[in-house]
Amino acid sequence: MRKNTMAGLLLAVALGLPLIGCEDTKARQENEQLKAHVAELVKNNGDLGNRVDALTQENTALKQENERLKAKKTQTKSSKNKHHRHASKRAAASPN
């Protein structure tokens, strides 16, 4: 009986080792895939960070240009209003 128990135990160990090795191989493959995925995400994060910086600079430049154009528009309106006032005064003065 003791020989049968020992034989069964050896058989279980002999069959279990390849399964453990197989699981270990799967775990290693999964680990390598995860490492590759993490490396890709890190690269994408860096690329996105650079893109955010570029867009921030572009946004700042566009805001400055917008402010410049608003100021120019205000100056143009001021000069047009003065010009129209003079013309309307002349038109009012002519009929009398």
- Predicted TM-score (pTM) of this structure: 0.47
For residue range 38-96, list pLDDT tens digits in order: 999 999 999 999 999 999 999 999 999 999 999 988 887 766 555 555 555 555 555 54
pLDDT digits (tens, 9 = 90+) for 2-45: 667 777 777 777 777 666 666 778 888 999 999 999 999 999 99
Retrieve residue 84's tokens.
Answer: 């129209």
